[in-house]
């Protein structure tokens, strides 16, 4: 079993804990959520993957980075990994519906499975599950909490209505 390292960083969405091997980022945890990848991980401020991740996250939160260039190693089922790879295709500032993500995966009836996979995304923000919303434009569940989803969507240029439930600007995806 590969040795894992972790370190934390402050952020506008709360304390982030990063877990990585020598080669790739394995998990990103926000605040006090359960951290299964932390079991056996050793604190290491010198891990190059973690250092690069902290730098890129700080640039993203400062509005200076729109894409991440990091080695990622999320662990999931074959379907989950396909769903997470699809999330990485959603450009900064755009959103997809669960249906569009399912179509991208060539599984047009798998919206619920897509939602389940997105909810288990071990590297949120970097694998941008916050960019997936309901086909009506309504913001739907998010493992990091609705407040975090709204913050990230606003950071990427979306206007969220006063209830925080619906994007109020023109939706930026074709055929929800």
Catalytic residue among 129, 150, 155, 167: 129
Are the CB atoms for 49 and 20 separated by under 8 Å?
yes
Measured CA to CA in angstroms, residue 51 lies from 22, 84, 122 at distances of 11, 23, 18
Measured CA to CA in angstroms, residue 93 lies from 2, 109, 132, 157, 174 at distances of 35, 26, 11, 6, 14
Annotated catalytic residue 26: no
Residue 121: closest CA among 38, 50, 28, 49: 28
Active site residues: 129
């Amino acid at each position: 079993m590969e040795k894992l390292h972790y370190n934390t960083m402050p952020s506008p969405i709360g304390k982030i804990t990063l877990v990585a091997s020598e080669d790739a980022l394995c998990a990103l945890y926000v605040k006090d959520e359960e951290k299964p990848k932390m079991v056996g991980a050793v604190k290491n401020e010198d891990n190059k993957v973690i250092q690069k991740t902290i730098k890129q996250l700080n640039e993203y939160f400062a509005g200076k980075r729109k894409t991440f260039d990091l080695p990622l190693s999320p662990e999931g089922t074959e379907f989950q990994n396909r769903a997470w790879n699809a999330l990485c295709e959603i450009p900064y500032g755009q959103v997809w519906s669960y249906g569009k993500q399912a179509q991208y995966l060539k599984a047009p009836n798998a919206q619920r499975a897509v939602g389940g996979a997105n909810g288990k995304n071990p590297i949120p923000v970097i694998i941008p599950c916050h960019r997936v919303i309901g086909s009506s434009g309504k913001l739907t569940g998010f493992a990091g909490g609705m407040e975090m989803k709204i913050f990230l969507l606003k950071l990427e240029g979306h206007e969220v209505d006063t209830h925080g439930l619906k994007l109020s600007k023109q939706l930026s995806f074709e055929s929800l």
